[in-house]
């Protein structure tokens, strides 16, 4: 048996008397990749933050290389050879990519430039070490965070959902790096909601539910059904959506040769009650297109027709008034008001429809309807939004969008970083909305998700429409279309 | 060329300052001389030291408005010690020590107890001024010894000893910010959580920034006392706001993480130049605040507009490059 590199010994944690972790044991050995799985609120992130010294345990002991983590600070954990790549990238916006990666290392950043460039080339992303971090897209920020972990060559490397913003190709190269580290005797913890990813690289699996370890076994010895049952008893499998229904209803939105920042000559239609999947690899121009539609970016040539009338929005709130609501992928910037009560958040898109003297009880009631419809788990409508878990926050964002009663709902990566249970709920909500006649433009890099939900699929690559596929297309077909067009672009 | 200057706040402000000085030179012959330069430097010393003190605090995304009070407190400690017969070096040590202690109090409140810096230093703004007034019993301290005054007198090629020390401090700060630890100060203000996550001692960095600020206010207090030869009750009152205005003008972001020593120096010199020019133009001194404030707003507004326009152009250029491969040969035509 290989030596244990890091260990949590019956660790407990409670916040304000509410237990989050109950005497959890967890260990990482040299030369293994350990999968950690669990629904939102299961305690995975807290567990890893305790291991990394970011959160203090209420009981139990944390040991790294057989020595207790003392004092329990990130600096000490780093010194003892452990690094946590967090789920949300922590970026210094005013520093270069190189500084972002190398800050805190013992030598000046210039000393690591060659190594950073080598890693960037290996992963195969177009990222320059001298770019100012403020200009990076979400996916690139995630890559910077992963590079931080790789360059530190920590003996124990924890990756909290590192693949959520990566393209399939980048995921493969990340896996290759992880396997190389494992071969070199490092121990890794890999947190992901995607079972097939965990299967591809992990040796052992631990499943958490409600702060308890409910499954701990070799990866080979557990079937998908075992793992899903352990995670959330009752949910056995992601239900597939009925085959793409024939839609012959009227056109809600049509784009005619629209151009703007990052995309050229885009034409497509969205019909009433239809889910149009808009997919492609990162950098295809999908997010830019959505942001242009709602007035976040300047629009170039081309026409947009909404229900027979020319549509032009100067700002997202202007777009809301005209019937297009946009849920941004950048939840940190365009997300919730974290300190405000849930019901404020739910009506924040429609503040201009509220009476001059607010009627909080009416708002609370309205929120309660959405809470029941979307299955938001919360104690009270007056709770601050920041106190909810990620999946529940995403549902509150959906509530805020629905409150605006959109004709067209644009969802940009609606399930990124959301666990299986909440993801299923969000899928169900999207289907119900479509059935009720709302049109949905679903932007997603998760080809499986696009296939599951979409009535039609438009694939973008390099700012162009690479092709359109009917419902029932396979993820492989999408992938082929998205990457072929990209290759052609690069030659 | 124009664009590079427009992109750099320090360069823009430098040119504006030069333009103002040239215009004043046209209006008042004899203004443009080495003598005027040393006057501007000497008049700006106190403001410069206070600005250099607040600078690292603002870089860490905190603020310190107690600078004027600490300046006064240090000057009083210096004056009382001298009048009690302590030797000058010892008295200077006491003043510096008082400034550092006061800075550490600020730092402990902010970094140790987690009090928001604006709240903490608004409190100590009153507290330190109060301590100073109690120490003097509300009296002015006068008849300071010649040895102290000689520190502020122009003796070396038009520069005073305090003027030379200030120049050395500027070089030291410039050098420090280029070092690895200096970068720590910048990134702590840029994203505190990220800095903590990467193992930087963020609390210690904040504490040291406030302690440094205290030391600089003390130097400013010593300079103040040496230059005017006595310590009035309101010594330093309000100077922290002028220093913060000069920093903002010099491109130091109040949101932390952005700024350079060059910006601090040029911001302070700009303000002092205007004050000095008004004297030459024989405009009454009570016009200073109005004109200084108007120039501050003017520069910031123009600079802000310029920046927005340049950013929009950059973004457009980036997307043109990124999305349109078949137009790769176009830039040549554009350039022609």
Q: Find, among A379, A376, A351, the residue nearest to A363 by Cα.
A: A351
Choices 3.30.70, 1.10.3470, 3.10.530, 3.10.310: CATH for B35-281: 1.10.3470
CB within 8 Å: A94 and B258: yes
CB A90 within 8 A of CB B191: yes
Q: Answer for the pair A286, A278: CB distance below 8 angstroms, yes or no.
A: yes
Query: Two tokens at A356?
Result: 């001059």
Q: What does residue A309 show for φ and ψ, rounded to 5 degrees?
A: -120, 145
Question: Is A244 at the interface with chain B, CB within 8 A?
Answer: no
**For the residues A323-333, what does the mean pLDDT come to?**
84
pLDDT at B278 over 60: yes
Average pLDDT over residues B184-193: 93
More confident residue, A147 or A355: A147
- Give me the pLDDT at residue A97, please: 93
DSSP state of A31: T
* Confidence at residue A135, expressed as pLDDT on a 0 to 100 scale: 84
Phi/psi for B238 (5° steps) reads 85, -5
The reported pLDDT for the residue numbered A242 is: 47
DSSP of B153-212, one letter per residue? Answer: S--BTTB-HHHHHHHHHHHHHHHHHHSHHHHHHHHHHH-HHHHHHTT--HHHHHHHHHHH
| Angle at alpha carbon of residue A101, lines to A99 and A105, rounded to 5° | 85
**Residue whose tokens read 């390099």:** A462
The yes-or-no verdict on residue B325 having pLDDT over 70 is: no
| B238-255: pLDDT as tens digits | 999 999 999 998 989 899
**Mean pLDDT, to the nearest integer, of A201-222?**
89
Which of A103, A132, A148, A258 is the mutation pick for testing B, counting most B CBs within 10 A? A103
H or E, element range at A23: strand A18-29
Q: What's the pLDDT band for A109 if we cut at 50, 70, 90? A: confident
Helices (H), A130-282: 138-152, 168-183, 195-201, 224-231
**A463/B323 Cβ within 8 A:** yes
The confidence score (pLDDT) of residue B320 equals 64
Model confidence at A238, in pLDDT bands (50, 70, 90)?
very low
| DSSP designation for A414 | T
Given CB atoms, is B87 within the 8 Å cutoff of chain A?
no
Residues of B in contact with A149 (CB under 8 A): none
Q: What's the CA gap between A411 and A329, in Å, rounded? A: 8
- Strand, coil or helix: B1: coil
Smallest Cβ distance to B322: which of A90, A148, A262?
A262
Buried b (16+ CB within 10 A) or exposed e, A371-400: beebbbebeebeeebeebbbbbbbbbbbbb
How many residues can be counted in chain A?
491
Of these ranges, A127-131, A200-204, A321-325, B93-97, the one predicted with the greatest mean pLDDT is B93-97
Beta carbons of B200 and A261 less than 8 Å apart: no
- The rounded distance, in Å, linking the Cα atoms of B47 and A145 is 41
Q: Within an 8 Å CB–CB cutoff, is residue B321 touching chain A?
A: no
More confident residue, B232 or B307: B232
- Euclidean distance between CA atoms A488 and A461, whole angstroms: 10
- Look over chain B and give the mean of its residue pLDDT values, rounded to a whole number: 88
- pLDDT, position A473: 82
Phi, psi (deg, nearest 5) at residue B209 = -60, -45
pLDDT band, very low/low/confident/very high, at B318 (cuts 50, 70, 90): low
Distance CA B222, CA B162 (A): 9
Strand partners, A209: A212
Question: Which residues lie below 8 Å from residue A121, measured CB to CB, with a gap of 6+?
Answer: none
Q: What is the mean pLDDT of chain A?
A: 85
Selected residues 246-275 of chain A with any CB under 8 Å from a CB in chain B: 260-264
Most confident segment among A116-130, A163-177, B163-177: B163-177
Interchain pair B198, A103: CB under 8 A: yes
**pLDDT confidence of A104, banded at 50, 70, 90?**
confident
| Per-residue confidence (pLDDT) for residue A92, from 0 to 100 | 93
Given this model, what pLDDT does residue A277 score? 92
- A182/B contact by beta carbon, under 8 A: no
Q: Please compute the mean of the pLDDT values over residues A480-488 and round it to a whole number.
A: 69
- A262 CB neighbours in chain B (<8 A) are 319, 322-323
* Domain positions in chain B: 35-281
- What's the confidence (pLDDT) of residue B176? 95
Confidence of residue B106 (pLDDT cuts 50, 70, 90): very high
- Cα dihedral across residues A132, A137, A138, A140: positive or negative: negative
B13 touches chain A (CB under 8 A): no
- The pLDDT value recorded for residue B335 is 36
User: What's residue B166's pLDDT?
Assistant: 96
Tell whether the model's pLDDT for residue B326 goes beyond 50.
Answer: no
In Å, what is the CA distance from B140 to each residue of A348, A441, B79, B147, B316?
A: 57, 74, 10, 19, 61
- How many interchain CB pairs under 8 A, A with B? 80
Cβ contact B200–A104 (<8 Å): yes
Helix or strand run (H / E) with residue A467: strand A464-470
The pLDDT value given to residue A485: 64
φ/ψ of residue A20, rounded to 5: -105, -35
Domains and CATH numbers, chain A: 4-231 (3.40.50.300), 251-490 (3.40.50.300)
Mutate to test the interface with B, among A53, A95, A135 (most CBs of B within 10 A): A95
The residues pairing with A63 across neighbouring beta strands, listed in sequence order, are A7, A68
- b vs e for B120-156, b when ≥16 Cβ sit within 10 Å of the residue's Cβ? bbebbbebbbebbbebbeeeebeebeeebbebbeeee
Q: Give the residue from A470, A397, A411 showing the smallest Cα distance to A287.
A: A411
- What pLDDT does residue B330 have? 37
Q: Does B114 touch chain A (CB under 8 A)?
A: no
């Amino acid at each position: 048996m290989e030596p244990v590199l890091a260990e949590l010994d019956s660790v407990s944690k409670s916040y304000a008397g509410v237990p989050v972790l109950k005497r959890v044991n967890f260990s990482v050995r040299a030369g293994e990749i350990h999968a950690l799985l669990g629904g939102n609120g299961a305690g995975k992130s807290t567990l890893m933050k305790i291991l990394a010294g970011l959160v203090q345990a209420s009981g139990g002991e944390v040991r790294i290389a057989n020595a207790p983590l003392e004092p329990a600070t990130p600096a000490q954990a780093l010194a003892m050879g452990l690094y946590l790549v967090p789920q949300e990238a922590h970026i210094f916006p005013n520093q270069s990519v190189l500084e972002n990666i190398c800050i805190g290392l013992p030598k000046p950043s210039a000393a690591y430039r060659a190594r950073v460039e080598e890693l960037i080339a290996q992963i195969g992303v177009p990222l320059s070490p001298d770019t100012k971090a403020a200009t990076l897209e979400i996916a690139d920020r995630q890559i910077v965070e992963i590079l931080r972990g790789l360059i530190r060559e920590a003996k124990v490397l924890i990756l909290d959902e590192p693949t959520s913003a990566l393209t399939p190709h980048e995921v493969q190269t990340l896996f290759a790096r992880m396997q190389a580290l494992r071969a070199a005797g490092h121990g890794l913890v890999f947190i992901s909601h995607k079972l097939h990813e965990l299967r591809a690289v992990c040796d052992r699996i631990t499943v958490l539910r409600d702060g308890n370890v409910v499954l701990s076994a070799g990866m080979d010895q557990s079937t998908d059904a075992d793992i899903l049952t352990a995670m959330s008893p009752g949910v056995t499998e992601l239900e597939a959506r009925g085959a793409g229904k024939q839609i012959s209803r009227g056109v809600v939105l049509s784009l005619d040769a629209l151009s703007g920042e990052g995309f050229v000559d885009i034409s497509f239609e969205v019909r009433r009650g239809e889910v149009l999947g808009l997919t492609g690899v990162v950098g295809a121009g999908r997010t830019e297109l959505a942001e242009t539609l709602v007035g976040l970016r300047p629009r170039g040539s081309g026409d947009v027709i909404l229900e027979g009338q020319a549509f032009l929005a100067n700002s997202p709130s202007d777009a809301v008034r005209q019937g297009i609501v946009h849920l941004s992928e950048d939840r940190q910037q365009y997300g919730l008001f974290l300190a405000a009560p849930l019901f404020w958040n739910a009506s924040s898109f429609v503040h201009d429809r509220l009476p001059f003297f607010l009627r909080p009880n009416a708002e609370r009631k309205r929120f309660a309807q959405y809470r029941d419809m979307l299955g938001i788990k919360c104690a009270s409508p007056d709770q601050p939004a920041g106190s909810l878990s990620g999946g529940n926050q995403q549902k509150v964002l959906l509530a805020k969008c629905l409150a605006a009663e959109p004709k067209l709902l644009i969802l940009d990566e609606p399930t990124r970083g959301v666990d299986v249970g909440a993801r299923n709920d969000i899928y169900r909500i999207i289907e119900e909305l479509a059935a009720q006649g709302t049109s949905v433009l679903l932007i997603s890099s998760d080809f499986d998700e696009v296939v599951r939900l979409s009535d039609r699929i438009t694939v973008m690559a390099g700012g162009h429409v690479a092709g359109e596929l009917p419902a029932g297309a396979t993820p492989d077909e999408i992938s082929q279309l998205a990457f072929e067009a990209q290759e052609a672009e690069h030659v | 060329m124009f664009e590079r200057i427009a992109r750099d706040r320090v360069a823009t402000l430098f040119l504006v300052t030069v333009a103002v000085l040239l215009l004043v030179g046209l209006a008042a012959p004899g203004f443009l001389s080495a003598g005027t330069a040393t006057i501007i430097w000497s008049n700006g010393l106190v403001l410069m030291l206070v600005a250099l003190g607040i600078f690292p605090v603002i870089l860490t995304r905190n603020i310190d408005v107690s600078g004027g009070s600490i300046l006064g407190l240090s000057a009083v400690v210096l004056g009382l010690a001298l009048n009690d017969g302590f030797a000058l070096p010892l008295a200077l040590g006491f003043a510096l020590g008082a400034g550092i202690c006061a800075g550490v109090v600020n730092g402990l409140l902010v970094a140790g107890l987690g009090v928001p810096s604006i709240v903490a230093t608004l409190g100590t703004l009153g507290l330190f001024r109060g301590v100073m007034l109690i120490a003097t019993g509300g009296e002015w301290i006068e008849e300071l010894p010649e040895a102290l005054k000689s520190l502020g007198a122009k003796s070396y090629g038009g520069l005073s000893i305090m003027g030379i020390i200030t120049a050395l401090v500027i070089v030291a700060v410039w050098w420090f910010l280029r070092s690895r630890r200096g970068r720590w100060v910048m990134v702590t203000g840029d994203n505190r959580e990220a800095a903590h996550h990467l193992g930087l001692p963020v609390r210690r960095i904040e504490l040291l920034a406030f302690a440094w600020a205290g030391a600089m206010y003390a130097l400013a207090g010593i300079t103040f006392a040496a230059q005017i030869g006595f310590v009035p009750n309101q010594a330093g009152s309000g100077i922290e706001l002028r220093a913060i205005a000069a920093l903002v003008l010099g491109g130091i972001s109040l949101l932390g993480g952005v700024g350079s020593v060059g910006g601090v120096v040029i911001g302070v010199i700009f303000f002092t130049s205007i004050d000095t020019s008004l004297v030459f133009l024989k405009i009454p001194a009570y016009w200073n605040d109005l004109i200084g404030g108007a120039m501050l707003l003017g520069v910031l507004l123009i600079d802000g507009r310029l920046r927005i326009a340049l950013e929009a152009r950059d973004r457009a250029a980036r997307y043109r490059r990124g999305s349109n491969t078949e137009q790769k040969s176009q830039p040549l035509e554009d350039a022609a």
